[in-house]
Structure formats: C-alpha cells, structure tokens
Amino acid sequence: MAPMSEITPSPASAEAGELFARFVELIARLRAPGGCPWDREQTHETVKPMTIEEAYEVAHAIDEKDDDELMGELGDLLLQVVFHANIAEERKAFRLRQIIERVSDKMIRRHPHVFADDGASTPGEVLRSWEAIKAKEREARGKDDESMLDSVHRGLPAVMEAFQMTTKVSRVGFDWPDADGALGKLDEEVLELRDAVRAEEPDQRAIADEVGDLIFVAVNVARLTGVDPESALKAANRKFRRRFRHIEERLGTDGRTPADATLEEMDRLWDEAKALERGERGDNST
C-alpha cells in the first residue's frame, strides 16, 4: 500500500499547504504570550460549543446552496480544528502533524482500491470493504469483540445517530429490501402508536416508546429513498416558519395576532400560504 510520502502534492495543493502553514502560525501567534487575551484563555471545553455550532453552520450553508457562505463557514470550521490542535500541543498531548498523519494513514489504509490492488469498483463494494478493514483495525487494537455500531458516537443528535447506525448495518445486509418495505413498517408503527394513545388508560412511557419507533422507521424511509433526514426535517422547519409567518402577517394587517384568531382562521391562512408557494413554484407540492 502506498505510504503518504509517495503522494506527490500538485501545484494547487502545495500552494494551499503554504497558506495552511501560515494560518497555523497565525493561530499560534494569537495563543502566544502577547497575543489575544481572549484566545489565550480558551480551552477544549470552552471552544467545544463553537465547534459544534460551526459544523451546523456549514450544514446550513450547504442546504441554502450558498457557495460564498459555505466557503466562509468551512474556514470557520477549519479554525476550530487548528485551534483545538494548538491547545493540545500546548498541553503536550499531541500535535497538528499527528492529527494529519493519523487521518491520512487511515484514508490510505481504508482505500486499498485506490492505493493498493483491491478490486472494489462499485460504491457498495467499497463500503463493504471499508467495514471489513475497520473490523481488522478493531481486532488489531484488541477490541474485536466491539460492536460495529460502537463507531457511531452516542453523543450524536438522535436523528443522525439513527441514520448512521442503520447505514452501517445495511452494509452487511441487515436492512429492508427497499423503501416500500420500510413504509410498510412505518404504517405498522403508526397503528401501534394510535393504539397506545387510545388505550383506556394511556401509558406515557409506552406512548414515548412508540413515538421513538415511529421516528426511527421514518429516518430509515428517508435513508432508503436517498434523502438525508436531518436536511429534510430542516427544510420542513423552514417551510413551517414561512407559512406561520404568513399567518402572522395577514392577521397583522387587521391589527391582530395569532392569539386573537380562531384555529379555523389560521388553517385558512395556512392553506393560503401553501397556495401562494405552489403558485410561485408552478407545481402542486404540499
């Protein structure tokens, strides 16, 4: 397998490397004595919320298809990586070079179809090979009894965790045959939730359990139809904001707020917002 040293930088990557080196020095200068008082007092713990926020802002820029915004947000996310690396180096925990070396070695190791003589030629074959390589890595670390799901971090948002877990197990064949199969399960979960809600003595724990099952299956319907559930839900949230804002604005013309309106009035204005959106798009989407 080709070592990292055998990968020759292109002129463009060499130029980017020079800029990256300057950026690393810039962050080091901010953290050094005589640098920025605020930057110098930050720790992994204080920077962690900002790291999460920047990752979500990257996702938002992608959803908005705003390349200029995406460029800026990727820069902010890169800042977080370099900042954490600088803090770690000051603690003598590890260096930025070690981060890059580790992830580079991992990518080479997990892409033998590119850097060695593995014959994987389709995305499906690549993913199966990826999981097999990860299993060997766990074995080499003396952790071959780990679940393949242990690599899906438990701290992920619930929708993302469900998506990642079921994506992983699908690579070893544990999956519905198609989206229709998952839709059938979704119908089943709706019935079970309805029964729990309509029980003579509703059990809140049972209802919560059925709601969780319903959402979990809905995530899989999204996955099997090639839809990212987080992005889809974000789009639905944006749609809800737009339509409810329409209700507020229309009521506002009469000096009223939603609190002053009936449900029937708000439903009518909601349908009006939907009709306006369909007209703008020239379609019949809901």
The pTM (predicted TM-score) of the whole model is 0.64
The dihedral through the CA atoms of 56, 60, 63, 69 has a sign that is negative
H-helix segments, 32-120 = 37-40, 44-64, 67-90, 96-109, 112-115
Residues 6+ apart with CB under 8 A from 181: 224
pLDDT of 2 over the 60 cut? no
Fold of 4-109: Helix Hairpins (1.10.287)
pLDDT digits 0-9 by tens, 249-269: 999 999 999 999 999 999 999
pLDDT at 283 (0 to 100): 66
Q: The tokens of 111 are what?
A: 């892409």
CA 273 to each of CA 57, 120, 251, 257, 267: distance values in angstroms, whole numbers, following the listed order: 28, 50, 13, 16, 10
- CATH classification number, 148-227, choose in 2.60.120.10, 3.30.1330.10, 3.30.413.10, 1.10.287.1080: 1.10.287.1080
Coil/strand/helix, residue 255: coil
> Taking residues 145-150, what's their average pLDDT?
78
Q: 């962690």: which residue's tokens? A: 48
**Over 60: is that where the pLDDT of 245 sits?**
yes
pLDDT confidence band for 8 (50 / 70 / 90): confident
pLDDT of residue 4: 60
142: helix, strand or coil: coil
Q: Please tell me the distance from the alpha carbon of residue 285 to that of residue 281, in angstroms, as a whole number.
A: 9
Give dist(CA 114, CA 129) in Å, integer: 12
**Distance of CA 145 to CAs 36, 128, 138, 151, 164, Å?**
47, 19, 8, 13, 20
pLDDT in tens, 46-77: 999 999 999 989 988 998 899 999 999 999 99
Q: Where are the domains of the chain?
A: 4-109, 148-227, 230-277
Task: Give exposure, 238-248, as e/b (b: 16+ Cβ within 10 Å).
Answer: eeeeebeebbe
Long-range contacts of 272-281 (CB under 8 A, 24+ apart): 272/246, 273/242, 273/243, 273/246, 273/247, 274/243, 276/246, 277/242, 277/243
Pick the more confident residue, 280 or 19.
19
Q: What is the pLDDT of residue 145?
A: 58
273 alpha carbon, distance to own chain's centre: 30
